[in-house]
């Protein structure tokens, strides 16, 4: 890997997070290089959302460090959009008293917010709901609105926490195509293996907070440790 790409990446170095006696993340290291789609998978409770929350600054690591563009970095939730990092949260979290268009404008960073918000809604195929209130809309539509809100800021790093949760196979296929088409760096936290396998350049597998595998989709799907972790979780 060239020095230049190391300078432009987000990296986690030996991150551990403990909640009382529970180790949610155990010495996790990960590099998210520019333009790459990096997946984080693992059974329920593996620590995926915790890893996401560490990068968003919602959770302070117990030990370890982060770097952004090669420099030590302590993430703060209110700094993310300025740094070009946009995220969607697990589930849907929209303001009920605002229209869809207004909700997406919240994510826009500068003037022309309304036309940019409309363009993001259009890209996600939901512009016809612009003047509706999100509470009345089906879940799959709200997930698309959530994506539009993240995309409107034209982030350099797009972080998605279980974007496929609650979606059917057609919606998941649509989502995969959209993720591939964004052209930005993506960190995708997901437990739908099919989606992750079809869009990611590389995948980190967590099991009880421990990194058990890191590699290409081909390497991950051929790794017996990964199959074991999932079978163990299903038993
Ligand atoms: N704020 C918290 N306080 C205590 N325990 C937590 C907290 N957040 C997560 N956990 C625990 O940490 C583990 C990992 O959770 P999480 O990161 O949400 O997993 P995943 O997203 O992979 O399902 C789980 O055992 C969960 O109960
Ligand atoms: Mg989670």
22 CB within 6 A, ligand 1? yes
User: With contact defined as beta carbons under 8 Å apart, do 138 and 68 qualify?
Assistant: no
The whole model's pTM is what?
Answer: 0.88
Tens place of pLDDT per residue across the chain (235 aa):
445 555 679 999 999 999 999 999 999 999 999 999 999 999 999 999 999 999 999 999 999 999 999 999 999 988 898 899 998 876 667 777 788 888 888 767 666 788 989 999 999 999 999 999 988 899 889 889 988 989 988 899 999 999 898 889 999 999 999 999 888 999 999 988 889 999 999 999 999 999 999 999 999 999 999 888 877 665 4
The pLDDT value given to residue 111: 64
The residue whose two tokens read 């909700």 is 103
Q: Which domains occur in the chain, in start order?
A: 4-84+155-234 (3.40.50.300), 94-154 (no CATH)
- Ligand number nearest to the C-alpha of 229: 1
Q: What phi and psi values does residue 4 have, to the nearest 5 degrees?
A: -60, -45
Residues by chain with Cβ below 5 Å of ion ligand 2: 48-49
The pLDDT value given to residue 57: 93
What is the 3-class SS of the chain, one letter each residue?
A: CCHHHHHCCEEEEEEEEEECCEEEEEEEEEEECCCCEEEEECCCCCCHHHHHHHHHCCCCCCEEEEEECCEECCCCHHHCCCCCEEEECCCCCCCCCCCHHHHHHCCCCCCCHHHHHHHHHHHCCCHHHCCCCHHHCCHHHHHHHHHHHHHCCCCCEEEEECCCCCCCHHHHHHHHHHHHHCCCEEEEECCCHHHHHHHCCEEEEEECCEEEEEECHHHHHCCHHHHHHHHHHHC
Q: How far is the CA of 110 from the centre of ligand 1 (A)?
A: 35
Instruction: List residues bridging with 207 in a β-sheet.
Output: 210
48 CB within 6 A, ligand 1? yes
In angstroms, the CA 22 to CA 108 distance is 38
The pLDDT value given to residue 7: 65
Which of 72, 63, 56 has the alpha carbon at shortest distance from 189? Answer: 56
In angstroms, the CA 77 to CA 98 distance is 22
- Ligand number nearest to the C-alpha of 20: 1
| Other beta carbons less than 10 A from residue 116's beta carbon | 20
């Amino acid at each position: 890997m060239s020095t230049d790409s190391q300078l432009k990446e987000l990296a986690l170095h030996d991150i551990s997070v403990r909640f009382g006696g529970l180790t949610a993340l155990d010495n996790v290291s990960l590099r998210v290089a520019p333009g790459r789609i990096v997946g984080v998978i693992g059974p329920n409770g593996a620590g995926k959302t915790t890893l996401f929350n560490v990068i968003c600054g919602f959770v302070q690591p117990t030990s370890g460090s982060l770097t952004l563009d090669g420099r030590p970095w302590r993430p703060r939730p209110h700094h993310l959009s300025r740094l070009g990092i946009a995220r969607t949260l697990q589930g849907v979290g929209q303001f009920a008293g605002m229209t869809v268009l207004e909700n997406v404008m919240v994510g826009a960073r500068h003037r022309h917010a309304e036309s940019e918000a409309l363009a993001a809604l259009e890209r996600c195929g939901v512009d016809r709901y612009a003047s509706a209130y999100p509470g009345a809309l089906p879940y799959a539509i709200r997930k698309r609105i959530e994506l539009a809100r993240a995309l409107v800021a034209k982030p350099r790093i797009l972080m998605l926490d279980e974007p496929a949760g609650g979606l059917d196979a057609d919606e998941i296929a649509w989502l995969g195509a959209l993720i591939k088409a964004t052209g930005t760096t993506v960190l995708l936290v997901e437990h739908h293996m099919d989606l992750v396998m079809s869009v990611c350049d590389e995948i980190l597998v967590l099991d009880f907070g421990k990194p058990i595998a890191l590699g290409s989709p081909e390497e991950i799907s051929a790794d017996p440790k990964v199959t074991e972790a999932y079978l163990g979780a299903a038993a």
